[in-house]
């Protein structure tokens, strides 16, 4: 596992669409990074050198003190070999950003930020129940562009009541800050969220799928025009600014996930995830017996995962790789399954690689599911 992921499970307030594991309470906040450091020591043998990336996610890792971040990074870099210029990303909420904080993050060794803007529309931000408003989003961007060359901003499209014009305005405003990377996700309604309740009670009406597709198509067209490369379904980067952490994940490389709910993968067939409960996670670390589940992937699982991730990437699905990794029967199955999507021109062969046409990109997950082994 040459990548390290840290899940910091605390947030200021609960966003209405979010189903990640986090707590808004104060209990255990100060202790969490100590526990995560202890978990790292317990699982140090699972981490392969040289380390290629560290990613602080959550939750809201911009609530961790910069002293803690500094000490965590220096412990990791003292103990493990790392590649030169290793990518170290921290997810940051706009309301946590000021110039002083950003300077301290740089000194700590953070060299990439992922800024959770989500939208510039006050109406969207209120509906999402984000902790920041448009002004804070813009101020954060101004401060980040002064100090960080490598940063990404997250946006959400398909917001209820939003028109194609609203979405274009948000995108153009984001582009005016010339970010080297943008990740854009469609709003999804997850169970057990406030948004789910609001939709079920007809207090919020979702956009028709066709309008969401129009917004995605605009995103792809506009960002391509501005020389971004859509290197994965939701990810757009200028050359040399693709996320190392995310690419390693999509390329099936191993990662060690620390903290409550964090997932790990050994780069072959073993996946595991920590318990999504801060208190039980703490007891597990303190007793030396981590509370986590382990899953051994079989060939079918690995084939399906490969198809899903590869089709979402610009490189597409490699038939040679499918033959090599899964055998001739799987390759023949793939060739048979793709025929109807080739016929309607959703997919095309580029040499040995199966790719999705631009007009069908929005349908990627559904098309991938048609190629799965059931």
The contact set with ligand SF4 (CB under 6 A) reads 11, 14-15, 18, 20, 22, 58-60, 93
Residues in CB range of 184: below 8 A, 6 or more apart: 154, 155, 156, 157, 216, 219, 234, 236
Coil, strand or helix: which one is 52?
Answer: strand
Residue 282 C-beta: closest distance to ligand SF4, Å:
19
Locus of tokens 């790990």: 264
The alpha-carbon radius of gyration of the chain (Å, integer) is 21
> Cα–Cα distance between 64 and 178 in angstroms, integer?
28
Least Å distance between CB 209 and ligand SF4? 23
**Least distance CB 156 / ligand SF4 (angstroms):** 10
Q: Which is nearer to ligand SF4, 58 or 254 (CB)?
A: 58
H-run or E-run covering 7: strand 3-8
DSSP code for 205? -
| Structure tokens belonging to residue 252 | 């099936």
- Minimum CB distance to ligand SF4, residue 278 (Å): 14
Shortest distance, CB of residue 169 to ligand SF4, whole angstroms?
A: 22
Q: Nearer to ligand SF4 by C-beta: 79 or 234?
A: 234
Q: Which is nearer to ligand SF4, 22 or 56 (CB)?
A: 22
**Interstrand relation of 263-265 and 270-274 (parallel, antiparallel or unpaired):** antiparallel
Q: How far is the CB of 51 from ligand SF4 (least distance, A)?
A: 25
- Please, are residues 46 and 256 in contact by the beta-carbon 8 Å criterion? yes
What is the sign of the dihedral through the CA atoms of 216, 222, 224 and 230? negative
15/143 with CB nearer ligand SF4: 15
Nearer to ligand SF4, 14 or 222 (CB): 14
Q: Report, in Å, the least distance between residue 33 CB and ligand SF4.
A: 17
Closest CB to ligand SF4 among 93 and 152? 93
Rounded Cα–Cα distance for residues 212 and 168 (Å)? 13
3-state secondary structure of 123: helix
258: which strand partners?
6
Of 197 and 353, the one with the shorter C-beta distance to ligand SF4 is 197
Cis peptide before 131 (omega within 30 of 0): no
CB-nearer residue toward ligand SF4: 13 or 205: 13
Rounded to a whole number of angstroms, the minimum distance from the CB of residue 60 to ligand SF4 is 5
C-alpha span between 10 and 210 (Å, rounded): 35
CB 311 within 8 A of CB 321: no
Residue 15 CB, nearest distance to ligand SF4 (Å)?
3
Nearer to ligand SF4, 152 or 230 (CB): 152
| Residues 6+ away with beta carbon under 8 Å from 71 | none
């Amino acid at each position: 596992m040459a990548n390290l992921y840290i899940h910091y499970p605390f947030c200021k307030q609960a966003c209405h669409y979010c189903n990640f594991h986090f707590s808004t309470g104060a209990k255990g906040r100060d202790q969490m990074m100590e526990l995560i450091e202890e978990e790292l020591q317990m699982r140090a043998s699972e981490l392969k050198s040289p380390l290629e990336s560290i990613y602080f996610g959550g939750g809201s890792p911009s609530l961790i003190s910069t002293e803690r971040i500094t000490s965590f990074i220096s412990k990791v870099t003292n103990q493990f070999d790392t590649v030169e210029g290793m990518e170290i990303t921290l997810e940051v909420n706009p309301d946590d950003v000021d110039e002083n904080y950003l300077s301290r993050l740089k000194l700590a060794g953070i060299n990439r930020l992922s800024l959770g803007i989500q939208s510039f529309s006050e109406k969207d931000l209120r509906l999402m129940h984000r902790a920041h408003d448009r002004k804070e989003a813009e101020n954060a961007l101004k401060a980040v562009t002064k100090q960080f060359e490598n940063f990404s901003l997250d946006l959400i499209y398909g917001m209820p009541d939003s028109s194609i014009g609203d979405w274009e305005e948000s995108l153009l405003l984001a582009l005016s800050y010339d970010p080297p990377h943008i990740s854009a996700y469609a709003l999804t309604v997850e169970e057990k969220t406030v948004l789910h309740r609001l939709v079920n009670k007809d207090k919020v009406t979702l956009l028709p799928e066709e309008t969401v597709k129009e917004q995605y198509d605009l995103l792809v067209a506009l960002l391509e025009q501005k020389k971004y490369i859509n290197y994965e379904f939701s990810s757009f980067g200028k050359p040399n600014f693709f996320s190392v952490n995310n690419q390693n994940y999509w390329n099936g490389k191993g990662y060690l996930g620390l903290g409550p709910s964090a997932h790990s993968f050994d780069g072959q067939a073993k996946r595991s995830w920590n318990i999504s409960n801060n208190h039980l996670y703490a007891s597990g670390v303190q007793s030396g017996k981590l509370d986590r589940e382990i899953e051994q992937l079989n060939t079918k699982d690995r084939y399906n995962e490969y198809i899903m991730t590869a089709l979402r990437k610009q490189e597409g699905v490699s038939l040679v790789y499918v033959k090599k990794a899964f055998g001739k029967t799987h390759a023949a199955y793939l060739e048979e399954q793709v025929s109807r999507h080739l016929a309607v021109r959703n997919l095309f062969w580029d040499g040995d690689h199966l790719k999705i046409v631009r007009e069908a990109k929005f349908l990627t997950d559904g098309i991938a599911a048609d190629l799965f082994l059931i």
